[in-house]
Structure 1
Amino acid sequence: MSSQRGNVSRTRAQRHQNAQVFRNDKYDTSAQRKKINTKLHEGLCQHCKEVLEWRVKFNKYKPLTQPKKCVKCLQKTVKDSYHIICKPCACELALCAKCGKREEIVIPIQTSLEKTENEPSKNEQTGNNRRSGFEDDNEQNLSDMEDENEDLDLLVKQHKTERTGI
């Protein structure tokens, strides 16, 4: 028996083995499931990122319906499931947004904005822009990203003033 005291090794192989890998979108093809599967887990340490990826993979991830209270600023600004710290606080304090520990952050929170800004400049350097409409789209995307960066900066400033009470 495996629960027998002192019995360290098994004498037989695993009885039931899956022939196919579990797929969380086999029967659930809703928009919410697709959104959960494509979600990027940013601002987390390696362990917490793996935990959330496991939850998504095996259909255990449940999204939040209402924002949760941040443990640092005590505002209802946490919009991601299983997180305890909001994104501005996690960025400012360099903490994992899920466990709250000062670990190495695998994917920083603003990398998605930086990647989209860098991609158009690479295309301009290599000369891959052959259509004039493509260049206009890149310029529009850049201006949209700059607007989002400004909005994010304003949000961080407002968040800091709410925390300090000034």
Structure 2
Amino acid sequence: MSSQKGNVTLSRPQKHQNTFTFKNDKFDKSVQTKTINAKLHDGVCQPCKEVLEWSIKYSKYKPLSKPNTCVKCSQKAVKDSYHIMCRPCAYELQVCAKCGKKEDIVIPFNKEISESSENQGFNHGRSCKRKEDSDEDFGAEADSDGGDGDTHA
């Protein structure tokens, strides 16, 4: 028996063996599972990347519902699960965003993506303004169409 003291060798093979590998999207075809499977783990070291990939592979990864606090800048800017640092702080210090150690980063942060996320509020405001302008134009067309509709009736 394997629980006996000093018995380190097994005399038989493993009793139950899996015949096929686990698939995390076999029965769960939700949008959330698809986004989790498509997630790119950038800004983390190799051991942390392997941990995150394992948790996704076996359906243990839980995405954040709201941003967490960054340990460097103390702002609610951490948008990735299991990370302790926000993207700008990790990029600036060249450390792993998950463990905070100065290790080799496997996939570095894309600078263009970081800048676009910082300026997202500004671009969002401009797109909303354009939408409002287009709504006003639509309203003007609707009024002129309404006037024509009365003459035809």
- TM-score, normalised to structure 2, is 0.72
Matched residue, 1:49 = 49
Give secondary structure in 1 for the equivalent of 2:90: helix
Q: Deviations over 1:14-55 (max 9, x none)?
A: 111111110000110011100000000010000000000000
Letter paired with 2:116: D
Percent same amino acid among aligned pairs? 61
Tell me the SS of whatever aligns to 2:2: coil
Cα distance in 1 between the residues matched to 2:104 and 2:59: 27
CA drift at 1:2: 2.1
* CA distance, structure 2, for counterparts of residue 150 and residue 69 of structure 1: 20
Equivalent runs, 1:70-89 vs 2, <5 Å: 70-89=70-89
Q: Which segments of 5 or more consecutive residues in structure 2 lack a partner in the other structure?
A: 121-153
Contact kept in structure 1, 2:43 and 2:109, CA below 8 Å: yes
- Per-residue displacement from partner, 1:124-165 (whole Å, max 9, x unpaired)? xxxxxxxxxxxxxxxxxxxxxxxx67535768xxxxxxxxxx
Deviations 1:78-127 (A, max 9, x none): 0000000111111010111111111110000117x5xxxxxxxxxxxxxx
* Aligned counterpart, 2:34: 34
Local SS of the residue matching 1:36: helix
Q: Classify 1:95/1:78 alpha carbon distance in 2 versus 1 (closer, same or farther; 3 Å).
A: same
Following superposition, the deviation at residue 6 of structure 1 comes to: 1.9
Q: Give 5+ residue unaligned stretches, structure 1.
A: 114-147, 156-166
Name 2:93's counterpart in structure 1.
93
Counterpart-to-counterpart distance in 1, 2:114 and 2:52? 27
Contact 2:87 2:114 (8 Å CA) reproduced = no
Q: CA deviation at 1:70?
A: 0.5
Distance 1:106 1:19, change over 3 A: same
Give TM-score scaled by structure 1 length.
0.67
Give the aligned length. Answer: 120
